Amino acid sequence: MRSYVQGFSLSQEDVDAFRQHSGPPADAQLFHVARWFRHVAVILGSPRAPAPPRGLQSSEGRRTQPPWSPPAGSEPCQLRLYNSLTRRKDVFVPQDGRRVTWYCCGPTVYDASHMGHARSYISFDILRRVLRDYFKFDVFYCMNITDVDDKIIKRARQNYLFERYQEKQPQAVQLLEDVRAALQPFSAKLRETSDPDKRQMLERLERAVRLAAEPLEEPARRGLAGEELDSRVQVLLEEAKDLLSDWLDSTHGSEVSDNSIFSKLPKFWEAEFHKDMEALNVRPPDVLTRVSEYVPEIVDFVQKIVDNGYGYVSNGSVYFDTVKFANSEGHCYGKLVPEAVGDQKALQEGEGDLSVSAERLSEKRSPSDFALWKASKPGEPSWPCPWGKGRPGWHIECSAMAGTLLGASMDLHGGGFDLRFPHHDNELAQSEAYFENDCWVRYFLHTGHLTIAGCKMSKSLKNFITIKDALKKHSARQLRLAFLMHSWKDALDYSANTMESALQYEKLLNEFFLNVKDLLRAPIEVAGQFEKWEDKETELNESFYDKKAAVHEALCDNVDTRTVLEEMRALVGQCNLYMAARKAARKRPNRALLESIARYLTHMLKIFGAIEEESSLGFPVGGPGTSLNLEPTVMPYLQVLSEFREGVRRVAREHRVPEVLQLSDALRDDVLPELGVRFEDHEGLPTVVKLVDRDTLLREREEKKRAEEEKRRKKEEAARKRQEQEAARLAKMKVPPSEMFLSERDKYSKFDENGLPTHDAEGKELSKGQAKKLKKLFEAQEKLHKEYLQLVQNGSIP
Average the pLDDT over each of 472-476, 482-486, 585-589 and give the range with the smallest value: 585-589
| 556 membership: H or E segment, kind and range | helix 535-556
Residue predicted with more confidence, 47 or 615: 615
Is residue 3 over pLDDT 70? no
Counting residues of the chain whose pLDDT is more than 70, the rounded percentage is 91
Determine the pLDDT at residue 425.
Answer: 98
Average the pLDDT over each of 32-36, 75-79, 98-102 and give the range with the smallest value: 32-36
Is residue 30 over pLDDT 70? no
Sorted by where each starts, the structural domains of the chain and their CATH numbers stand as: 12-43 (no CATH), 84-106+126-146+287-447 (3.40.50.620), 150-265 (no CATH), 495-608 (1.10.730), 630-692 (no CATH), 735-797 (no CATH)
The predicted-structure confidence for 87-110, as pLDDT tens digits, reads as follows 999 999 999 999 999 999 999 999
Give the DSSP letter of residue 764.
P
Q: Which amino acid type is present at position 41?
A: A
Q: Which of 301, 310, 288 is nearest to 400 (CA)?
A: 301
The DSSP result for 611-639, as a single string, is --S--SSSSPSS-TT--S-HHHHHHHHHH
Please give the mean pLDDT across all residues of the chain.
89
Residue predicted with more confidence, 767 or 682: 767
pLDDT confidence bin for 10, thresholds 50/70/90 = low
Average the pLDDT over each of 289-303, 451-465, 616-630 and give the range with the smallest value: 616-630
pLDDT confidence bin for 579, thresholds 50/70/90 = very high
Cα within 13 Å of Cα(402), Cβ side: 34
Average the pLDDT over each of 17-31, 90-104, 488-502, 716-730 and give the range with the smallest value: 17-31
Is residue 2 over pLDDT 60? no
Is residue 229 over pLDDT 60? yes
**Most confident stretch, 47-51, 488-492, 515-519:** 488-492
Question: Global pTM?
Answer: 0.79
The predicted-structure confidence for 427-463, as pLDDT tens digits, reads as follows 999 999 999 999 999 999 999 999 998 888 876 677 8
Is residue 354 over pLDDT 60? yes
pLDDT confidence bin for 206, thresholds 50/70/90 = very high
d(CA 768, CA 782): 21
Is residue 45 over pLDDT 60? no
Is residue 754 over pLDDT 90? no
Is residue 144 over pLDDT 80? yes
Q: List Cβ<8 Å contacts ≥24 apart for 77-81.
A: 77/552, 77/553, 77/556, 77/557, 78/556, 79/135, 79/555, 79/556, 79/559, 80/556, 80/557, 80/558, 81/443, 81/445, 81/558, 81/559
The predicted-structure confidence for 767-783, as pLDDT tens digits, reads as follows 989 989 999 999 998 89
Is residue 68 over pLDDT 70? yes
Average the pLDDT over each of 313-327, 331-345, 618-632 and give the range with the smallest value: 618-632
C-alpha to C-alpha distances, 156 to 254, 291, 389, nearest whole angstrom: 12, 16, 20
Residue predicted with more confidence, 188 or 6: 188
Is residue 60 over pLDDT 60? no
Is residue 504 over pLDDT 90? yes
The predicted-structure confidence for 235-275, as pLDDT tens digits, reads as follows 999 999 999 999 999 999 999 988 899 999 999 999 999 99
Is residue 83 over pLDDT 60? yes
Beta carbons of 387 and 407 less than 8 angstroms apart: no
Burial class (CB in 10 A: 0-12, 13-18, 19+), 27: exposed
Counting residues of the chain whose pLDDT is more than 90, the rounded percentage is 64
Mean predicted confidence (pLDDT) in 547-557: 98
Determine the pLDDT at residue 314.
Answer: 96
Determine the pLDDT at residue 511.
Answer: 93
3-state SS assignment for residue 687? strand
